[in-house]
Structure 1
Amino acid sequence: MATIRKRGPYQWEVRIRKKGYPTHCKTFSRKTDADQWARDIESEMTRSVFVSRKEAESTTLLDALERFEEEFLDGYAQPKQIKSRIKIIKERPIALMPLASIRGKDVADFIKSREEERRASQTILHEVNLISRVFEISRKDWGMESLHNPTQRVNKPKQNKGRTRRLEKGEEKKLLEKAPEELKPIILLALETAMRRGEIAMMRWEHVDLKKRYVHLPKTKNGEARSVPLSPAALDILKSIPRRIKGDVFPLHPDTISKWFRAAADDADLKDLRFHDLRHEATSRLFENTDLDFMEVKVGQRFGELAEPVILKRLM
């Protein structure tokens, strides 16, 4: 049976005694939270599914984020972006709350605060998804089985419609005229392969097979490996690039690629053009310039060397 008593002007203490279980106590600053916690614990004890919340109640979201950063960050294709999101969440009031006490309302408050700061809905979604990921790891890998994921109980911001910006007639030429020499082959390769900025920046010669006409990507945005088929034009681009002692195909960091690309687009007076738009342009050209259907393009992008008979020979 749960007893709730007021301790001081802003504290409520819950004490639960039930046969077969040790006494459980917890203090809350809001009585509504105290009532909810008591109901949850008593219900689980009655149904014989109770699991101690001790670790989840003593671990804050800040603690969990720091552990996540230490154990999982290196597994991401773009750890810098994840680290930036972690830093943002750490600076919010929700980070100081124990995992077990975070409710959907707290996540909703986090979303509202980010919207008030005029953050893009996609940016906020990435941050909420990171919080969700930390909760799932805490439940499945860190022994906090009783933990509920509060992000599943909130209305998330709606995703923006995908961009449809394409290169208009003459824009590719203008862009290449303004781009630095080191950036030109990167732009051309992106238009031939539909590879992402980070994927191109991480390319290494040891993963490029010019004979079999594909480049293997050990780590992509979603964490999975894939191989990309190389058209004759893409092969010519790679053959024109001098081999570097370090083994990387291109010497530019992903952020440098974006910075130089924006500058070239501005100099060429190309409105609202981003590097990622080249991926959409490349995919659209595949449909327009070949008789490939949607599934063949998807298969070719993911399994380049396996799809060679289907994709590469039809691009010749």
Structure 2
Amino acid sequence: MATIVKTPSGTWKAVIRKIGWPTTAKTFRTKRDAEDWARRTEDEMVRGVFLSRAPSERLTVAGALKRYMEEVSVTKKMTTQRSERFTAQHLEAFFGKYSMAAVSAELVAKYRDERLAVGKSNNTVRIELAMLGHLFRTAIQEWGLGLTFNPVANIRKPSPGKGRSRRLTANEQGRLFAAADAHSNPMLGWIVRLAVETGMRSSEITGVRCGDVDLERRVIRLADTKNGTARLVPLSRVAVAILQHALDNPMRPNGTDLVFFGEPGRDGQRRPYIFQKLWARLTLDLGLDDLHFHDLRHEAVSRLVEGGLSDQEVAAISGHKSMQMLKRYTHLRAEDLVTKLDRLGAAPK
């Protein structure tokens, strides 16, 4: 039987000691509430379904996010860590003061609706919900918080956003290349041109080291990619020329083998060149502020398809594991398809 005692502050404390179970206690404002809780808890113990909710009631979402960042996020790629730091800030602002046990599906749905209402994209909200769901899944499966369900699991997620179809016109490419080449740091121009020639992601380009480049074989070996699979990227003659200039960069300091290097950090170490702010300013000045750097990857992949390469060949170059995802990143110009249709068959006589 449970022990019900009145505390000096006037509340009622129920304490359950049962063989085979840890001592469990909880405090209530009334004696009846304490007795009701004790009966339910003892019944759950008899049926073997009892879960102690005390840890999840004591731990706030803010505290859980802090632990998640320290134990889980740090095991992921640096780009993912940076992204999750921003996501965690939004989640903490809304959920931070709630205990983990107090977060319900209704509350998560409210967060979803409020984020969409302020103009956040479907994909942004999906990413935030995915991190919140993983936080609860980790708490249940690894931290043993005694949560009975994941409040994110069954709520309606925003539909995936439509894949971008932004293509680069010849005029835009000419202006973009000229402006990037005119920048005081030649690495900006090399990076922009290399993105269009190879379809590599920005992090893949800036992470390339001199030893990864084989100009004789005309390939780059990417060991650290978004999907975790190393791949060889074949190089066009234009790409080879770009990389030759980058490798011959007279400003390359001793002690770094990064092809595209940044300024030393506080620890004296050089990390990959950061150009995102330069890109934003450059495209804004050109009136191309709707052009994302990742659109250059879309453009490169689409050109490979238009050039006659098969889906498998394009995937081998771009690193896409899913053909469905590849289709989202591939946007063919309708006028080019018309030309191909004309070549397929002669006009009827």
Give the TM-score category using the shorter length.
0.7 to 0.9
What 5-or-longer segments of structure 1 have no aligned partner? 3-12, 30-36, 304-316
Distance 1:44 1:208, change over 3 A: farther
Q: Does 1:50 align with 2:50?
A: yes
Establish whether residue 300 from structure 1 lines up as the match of residue 310 from structure 2: no
Shift of 1:266: 2.9
Partner of 2:141: 140
What residue identity is the alignment partner of 2:302?
S
Q: CA RMSD in A?
A: 3.5
CA contact (8 A) 2:301 2:318 kept: no
Letter in 1 for 2:230: R
Q: Is the 8 A contact 1:216 1:225 kept in 2?
A: no
Checking the alignment, whether the CA contact within 8 Å between 1:14 and 1:27 is kept in structure 2 is: yes
Aligned length: 285
CA distance in 2, matches of 1:280, 1:86: 29
**TM-superposition CA deviations, 1:232-264 (whole Å, max 9, x none):** 332222121136332211135889423222332
Structure 2 Cα separation of the partners of residues 57 and 82 of structure 1: 24
Indicate which of 227, 230, 233 corresponds to 1:229. 233
The structure number with the bigger radius of gyration is 2
Aligned match of 1:188 = 193
SS of the equivalent of 1:149 reads coil
Partner of 1:260: 278
Partner residue of 2:162?
Answer: 161
Tell me which residue corresponds to 2:245. 240
Relative distance call for 1:217 and 1:105 in structure 2 (3 A) is farther
Residue of structure 1 equivalent to 2:111:
110
TM alignment of 1:122-141, pairs within 5 A: 122-141=123-142
Aligned match of 1:249: 259
- Preserved contact between residue 192 and residue 234 of structure 1 (Cα < 8 Å): yes
Distance 2:118 2:64 in 1: 25
1:283 counterpart (297, 301, 320):
301
Identity of aligned residues (%): 33
Aligned equivalents of 1:191 and 1:40: distance in 2? 65
Normalised TM-score (structure 1):
0.76
How far apart, in 2, do the equivalents of 1:125 and 1:27 lie?
38
- Alignment of 1:272 with 2:274, yes or no, is no
SS of residue paired to 1:269 = coil
* Partner Cα separation in structure 2 for residue 85 and residue 112 of structure 1: 16
- SS of the residue corresponding to residue 97 of structure 1 reads coil
1:309 aligned residue: none
Code of the aligned partner of 1:91: A
Q: 1:216 to 1:96 in 2, by over 3 A?
A: farther
Q: Which moved more, 1:53-62 or 1:180-189?
A: 53-62
Distance in 2 (CA, whole Å) between partners of 1:40 and 1:172 is: 70
